[in-house]
Amino acid sequence: MFAEKQVIEGCINGDRLAQEALYNRFAGKMMAVSKRYLKDLETAEDAFQEAFVKVYNNLKNFTFQSSLETWMTRIFINESINKLRSLKRLALQVNIDDQTKQFAENSYDDAPEKFDAELVMMLLEKLPENYKIVLMMYAIDGYSHKEIAEKLNMPESTSRSSLTRARSLLSQLYNNEQKKHESRRI
């Protein structure tokens, strides 16, 4: 059984068994977080390792105001975003071109009530990097637009418009996949 407080205290005191217990408990979930933000497996693994080092080094600052998993997830998200920045793969300014305007004009209100989760995750990878990151931070990881704007060094309005465009584009991609699937049935 995972006795969170004892494991945290053990990690703070440098106990290798406690560190191993913490790693074994959260490695799978935290690697999934890193992979969600970083397409390249090697880069995701680098961010994952660096984030775990930060977790171990900062456990003494954990205040139990949130769950340990939530606290760690934030560290892994931040490290993944930092890795994206260092690779200069994240475009922080959104340029609105004709294609983007088309997505913004389409409403996602008519999106299907129930998405196929696997298909949605696959389609997420097709979104432009900046849209994908804002959508994941907001819809999956629960960041506010203010927090997203601070983390990505962009205006809140850009975060909001990126989310709207990401939802619209994701809905459009989903509907296109559904149409392809329906046409194969006929």
pLDDT band at 75 (very low <50, low <70, confident <90, very high): very high
Nearby residues of 130 by Cβ (< 8 Å), 6 or more positions away: 90, 91, 92, 94, 152, 162
pLDDT computed for residue 92 by the predictor: 42
Are 78 and 105 within one domain?
no
Residue finishing a domain among 36, 58, 86? 86
Which pLDDT tens digit goes with each residue over 46-67?
Answer: 999 999 999 999 999 999 888 9
Interval 94-141: pLDDT, tens: 444 444 444 444 444 444 444 566 777 788 888 888 898 899 889 888
Lookup: tokens for 162: 């990126």
Q: Would you say 139 and 104 are in contact if contact means Cβ atoms under 8 Å apart?
A: no
- Tally of structural domains, the chain: 2
- In this structure, is residue 92 part of a structural domain? no
Q: Averaged over 23-38, what is the pLDDT?
A: 93
Domain that holds residue 153: 98-185
DSSP states along 44-109 = HHHHHHHHHHHHHHHGGG--SSS-HHHHHHHHHHHHHHHHHHHTT----S----HHHHHHHHS-ST
Distance in angstroms (rounded) separating the CA atoms of residues 42 and 19? 23
Structure confidence by residue, pLDDT tens digits, 150-169: 888 889 999 999 999 999 99
Mean pLDDT for the chain overall = 82
Q: What is the pTM of this model?
A: 0.65
Same domain, residue pair 17 and 70:
yes
CATH number of the domain within which 110 lies: 1.10.10.10
